[in-house]
């Protein structure tokens, strides 16, 4: 497969998009959107978020060393975007988005009740990296909508209609699993059959078919050659990345 080379740019996509709620020492609350977040440890359970120092919530979290991560669903896409493009210095985002804020149990920070999953965190370390500071935090509690948990106690995140962020756009999470951890070495025929049906259905969709044969055909198409502009592609990515 032909590759287009880019210089040092983080093209790790898609990523989860979350709304982070926080509170200042004076008791002022704010919500802002973060796409650079992830699990970093199991015992103790920890996650990280990256924040620009110029953001209002950066100061709030530095003061209290606590925050809540709120996972939005598709119904909250506009609110998620709004909390990422508007500053708490200029507008009360909680009031504007009509969020229902519930006081945390293990932290002195409220979480967004409309979000199906909420994670309470205490900051353990802040690492300056450059444009962003990395906040390493321990998860001290979580709140999950009861309708996402089945009779066996399994949490079905796919039932929550969560959203992902990919190169400046929001996408819904699929509800159909095409595999599970360990499926590549599984010997249980029923288990393999369960996932192979969805896998084959997904991989056979026209949008997912990417073969060397198809690529060569596309590459040799004169219209494709004429319209393809490597420099334009790079400029477009750089512009999106720097927003």
Long-range contacts of 227-236 (CB under 8 A, 24+ apart): 230/4, 233/4, 234/4, 234/6
Residue 183 sits at φ, ψ, to 5 deg, of -65, -25
84 phi and psi angles, rounded to 5 deg: -95, -25
pTM over 0.85: no
Going by their DSSP bridges, the two strands 117-128 and 110-112 should be labelled as unpaired
Domain residue ranges in the chain: 15-175, 179-218
Q: Is CATH 3.10.129.10 the classification given to domain 15-175?
A: no
Binned at pLDDT 50, 70 and 90, residue 78 comes out as very high
Decide: helix, strand or coil at residue 147: helix
pLDDT tens digit sequence for 186-234: 888 888 888 887 788 777 765 555 544 454 454 555 444 444 455 555 5
Give CA–CA dist 125/138, Å, rounded: 10
């Amino acid at each position: 497969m032909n590759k287009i080379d880019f210089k040092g740019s983080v093209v790790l996509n898609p990523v989860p998009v979350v709304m982070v709620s926080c509170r200042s020492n004076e008791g002022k609350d704010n919500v802002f959107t973060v796409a650079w977040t992830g699990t970093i440890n199991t015992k103790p359970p920890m996650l990280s978020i990256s924040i620009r120092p110029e953001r209002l919530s950066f100061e709030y979290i530095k003061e209290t060393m606590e925050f809540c991560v709120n996972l939005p669903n598709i119904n909250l896409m506009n609110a998620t975007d709004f909390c990422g493009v508007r500053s708490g210095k200029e507008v009360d985002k909680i009031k504007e988005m009509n969020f229902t804020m519930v006081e945390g149990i293990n932290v002195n920070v409220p979480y967004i009740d409309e979000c199906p999953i909420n994670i309470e965190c205490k900051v353990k370390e802040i690492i300056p990296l450059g444009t962003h500071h990395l906040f390493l935090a321990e998860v001290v509690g979580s709140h999950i909508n009861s309708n996402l948990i089945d009779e066996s106690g399994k949490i079905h995140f796919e039932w929550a209609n969560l959203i992902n962020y990919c190169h400046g756009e929001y996408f819904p999470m699929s509800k159909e699993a095409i595999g599970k951890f360990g499926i590549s070495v599984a010997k249980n025929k029923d288990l393999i059959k369960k996932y192979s049906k969805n896998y084959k259905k997904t991989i056979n969709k026209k949008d997912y078919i990417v073969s060397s044969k198809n690529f060569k055909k596309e590459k040799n198409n004169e219209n494709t050659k004429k319209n393809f502009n490597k420099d334009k592609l790079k400029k477009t990515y750089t512009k999106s990345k720097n927003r």
